[in-house]
Amino acid sequence: MKFFVDTADIKEIEALTETGLLDGVTTNPSLVAKSGHSNFVELIREISSIVSGPVSAEVAATDYETMMEEGKFLSKIADNIAVKVPMTPAGLRVCKNLSYDGVMVNVTLCFSAAQAILAAKAGAAFVSPFVGRLDDIGSGGMQLISDICQVYSNYPDFKTEVLVASVRSPEHVVQAGLLGAHVATIPPSVIRQLFKHPLTDSGLAQFVEDWKKSGQTIL
């Protein structure tokens, strides 16, 4: 199971890279705006030099011609760029053409299994179903992941990876793993939560105390 971090914050990406557990990065226009960076292209260039795995960079346009131009431009920033396009007819047309040219494409804003089938047929490297936003409207985000994983497993020629997005909790990550999703893109705060368990903290405190009592050193 791959972990991407869902952020455009360079400091967070650098810190999480140090864990050795990060397989990629996803950004979106909202995350870029939140980062405060004023040069999107330079931001993506920097992120893709920090992380060796896929870095999703989203087109800004919504019409086919401009999305194609933006997608081609973004794909040339670095070898590990995944061009992110919206789940629209024009976005899927861009996906089909860029994928044919060997560019990784992430189809975003997926909210149904039908849309995920279209993304796979368009040759997407990744499809991003937004589980948290579905949960927000009482629609069962993880059921969608289950459905997509099941449909994709029926068609081995579908090479699209299920990238669970809009993750809000460690539970979402575990559920994604139980369902066999290929990737979870996770906000930095939730990645940090994954490490935590109160029994780990209390157990370690006990070990440290008992070791002191033993009066020994290893080095």
- The catalytic residues are 84
Give yes or no for residue 185 binding ligand G3P (CB under 6 A).
Answer: yes
Please tell me the count of residues contacting ligand G3P according to CB under 6 A. Answer: 9
In eight-state DSSP terms, residue 77 is T
Q: How far is the CB of 218 from ligand G3P (least distance, A)?
A: 43
Residue 119 binds to ligand G3P (criterion: CB under 6 A): no
* Span near ligand G3P by CB under 6 A; candidates 8-16, 127-135, 175-183, 190-198: 127-135
The amino acid at 84: K
Told to check if 165 binds ligand G3P by CB under 6 A, we report yes
Output 118 or 186, the one with its CB closest to ligand G3P.
186
> Using the rule CB under 6 A, is 132 a contact of ligand G3P?
yes
Contacts 24+ apart (CB under 8 A), 147-152: 147/113, 148/113, 148/116, 149/179, 149/180, 149/181, 151/113, 151/116, 151/117, 152/116, 152/120
DSSP 139: S
Distance CA 189, CA 12 (A): 10
Q: Which residues bind ligand G3P (CB under 6 A)?
A: 6, 26, 28, 130, 132-133, 165-166, 185
